Amino acid sequence: MNKTFLITGSAGFIGFHLSKMLLKSNNKVIGVDSLTDYYDIKLKQARIAILKSDSNFIEEKIDITNEQAILKVFKKYNPNIVVHLAAQAGVRYSIENPRSYLDSNIVGTFNILEGIRHSNVEHTLIASTSSIYGSNKNMPYDENQKTDTQVSFYAATKKSCEVISHSYSHIYNLPITNFRFFTVYGPFGRPDMALFKFVKAMKNNKPIDIYNNGNMKRDFTYIDDLIKGITLLLNKIPKVGQPIGKQDTLSDVAPWRTVNIGNSCSQNLMDFVDEIEKNMGFKAIKNFLPMQPGDVKETYANANLLKEITGFKPQTDISIGVKNFCEWYNHFYK
C-alpha cells in the first residue's frame, strides 16, 4: 500500500536521495525544508527541482523551529511515516555558531515530536550520528555502548535528541527508531564534507586541508547503502517486549531503538585521498594541519544490529563510491 511520508530536510543530501527513492515506489512525499544558506543554496534548489518533477512530491518551505507551521503541516497531511533528517550539521561549525544547533536540532526536533504525538504516525525515524560516540575508544562502535562523552556541541545536541525522543516514545507510546550514520558520501553530497571539498579544491588547483596530519580513519558509508538501510527500517517498527536478536537496543519501557548504519570498515583518510587522485588523474596539493577541536581520530561502525533487523549490511567500497561522486561532480559542474 502506498503511504504518505513526511521528510524533514528534503532539500538536503540524505533527504533528497530518500525522497527520490520513496517517490519511485509511488508514495506521496511531503518535503519540509527551509533551504538555509549553510551551504550553496543552488545545490539544494537543484535537488528540490528534481523532486518536484514528480507529482507525488509536495514542497513545504518551513523552518522546523516554527512550531505552529510544523503543527499545521501534520494536521494538513496526516503522514503515515515521518523521517526527521533536518538538522544543523557539521562538527566544526558548531564551535562557531552553537546557537543554530540548539535551535535547529533540539527545538526543531521537539516541534517535530509534538507534531507526531498529535497525529496518527505509524513509525518515526530520526537521524542521529556517529559523533555521538565521542571519546569512546572501543572499536567498532556498538549501539549498546555508553555514549556520555561527546566532544562537539553538534554531537551533544544529537545525543539530546535521542534522549528526548525516548521520553516521548515512552510517555505517548510513539514507535521511534534513531539511526546513527557514519561519514556519508556520494553524488549530490554536502559541500562541507571532505570529498566535496577535496574535489572542488583540486579542480581549482588549490591545496586540500588534511587534519591530524592525515592520521585519521573514517567508516565511509555510500549514500545508496544508507538509503537502503533507512528504507528497510521503515517497516521494522519497534514494539516493547519484542527485541530482535541479542544485540537489539529496544528500550525496556518504550517502542524505541537506535541502529548504526555504517560500512563496518574503518579506512585511512589518505586511502580516501588516493582514490580521489586516481579519479581526478593528478595529485592533490596537500596542506597538513593539526587535529581540529571537536573532531575524533577514528569512527568505525558495528552494523550487526542493522543486519539482524533488516538482513542488510552496507558494503560499497570507496573505489566505487568516490568514482560515482567524481563523475557526478564533473557532470553537475561542467
Residue positions annotated with a catalytic role: 154
Q: Identify whether 98 is preceded by a cis peptide bond (ω within 30 of 0).
A: no
How would DSSP label each residue in 116-157? HHTTT-SEEEEEEEGGGGTT--SSSB-TTS-----SSHHHHH
C-beta separation of 90 from 153 below 8 A: no
What grid cell was written down for 98? 552553537
Closest CA to 130 of 189, 181, 184: 181
HSE-up of residue 276 (Cα within 13 Å, Cβ side): 23
What grid cell was written down for 239? 514494539
Question: CB 21: neighbour CB atoms within 10 A?
Answer: 16
Could you give the 3-state DSSP secondary structure of residue 298? strand
Residue 323 to residue 120: CA distance in whole angstroms: 42
Residue 234 to residue 228: CA distance in whole angstroms: 10
Q: For the chain, what percentages of helix, strand and coil (3-state, to nearest 5) are there?
A: 45, 15, 40
